[in-house]
Amino acid sequence: MLPEIEAKPYKDWLEETFLPKYCSDTAVEEMRRMMKEPKVLGKVRRFNGLTACDIYDDGSRVLAYVVVKMIDPVTQTIQEREINLTISIQKEKLYRVERVDYFGKEWNT
């Protein structure tokens, strides 16, 4: 696992930029800059924060294990999902999600 000081930029990007956009109605065109295979969860779930975020070095990429709190917009219930993200570094503080793996069943998009 990366030391906190090295992991912080990735965690901040995930929490402040990527996950809020991924869990909303962001235009797929905008997601192209952030994802190899762009998609969004749209109205299925809304981002409500991280309860865990571990970042691991994998050479030219990083692996992120996150536990994401999501709100169901219909029932307003909060659910947590474990997600693994493979992130490549495009430029300093410019990242791209190469792969998203869910633990368990993936949400319908």
Share of the chain above pLDDT 70, in %: 95
Average confidence score pLDDT of the chain:
91
Backbone angles phi, psi at 2, to 5 degrees: -70, 145
d(CA 87, CA 18): 11
Taking only the tens place, the pLDDT of each residue in 85-98 is 999 988 777 899 99
d(CA 105, CA 58): 26
Domains of the chain listed by start with CATH number: 4-102 (3.10.450.540)
